[in-house]
Amino acid sequence: MGKDINRVTLQGRLTRDPELTYVGAKQTPKVALSVVTNRSFKKEDEWKEEPTFHNVELWDSAATHIDENFVKGEIINIEGTIKNDSWEDKDGVKKYKTYVRASSFSKVVNTYKKKDSTPAAEETPSGEPVAASVDADNDIPF
């Protein structure tokens, strides 16, 4: 039988500022994030987007780094695993939570610039940044 794989890679935007808490007797830092990814598709000659929201958590020094360096709206790459927790609430009702336990992350910085040096706002239907158009007379070095 083959080896099972539980691996997740996400690239999306933070939907809120990171929420840092300290857990347990050792006060271990834990940060909770909400990341949205969008699936773009074309329906009847019109582009549509279908958002999916992902709960993500990071621990220890990664948690404090995220809390200090990321804010709502920024693009983040996350790699990790899917985790499932279950518990009973005060009324005895079984509750479930599915989230991504991130093992690595990086900030995505959009460095594309339009000719007038303002940040590019253009994106493809998939949400990927695109380079500004090239002025053939001025940008080719020969």
Specify the CATH number for the domain of residue 100: 2.40.50.140
In a domain, 33, yes or no: yes
117 has pLDDT over 90: no
Rounded CA gap, 78 and 37, in Å? 11
The secondary structure element, H or E, covering residue 64 is: helix 60-69
Decide if 37 contacts 11 (C-beta within 8 A): yes
Strand-pair partners of 38: 51
Q: What is the pTM of this model?
A: 0.70
In a shared domain, residues 71 and 104? yes
At 82-97, the pLDDT tens digits run 999 999 999 999 999 9
Rounded CA gap, 80 and 9, in Å? 7
Averaged pLDDT, 3-14: 95
pLDDT at 116: 53
In a domain, 14, yes or no: yes
In a domain, 2, yes or no: no
In a shared domain, residues 16 and 38? yes
Neighbours of 15 (CB within 10 A): 14
In a domain, 3, yes or no: no
In a shared domain, residues 73 and 117? no
Q: 126: exposed, middle or buried (C-beta count within 10 Å: 0-12, 13-18, 19+)?
A: exposed
In a shared domain, residues 98 and 64? yes
In a domain, 132, yes or no: yes
Domain that holds residue 14: 8-109
Decide if 94 contacts 86 (C-beta within 8 A): yes
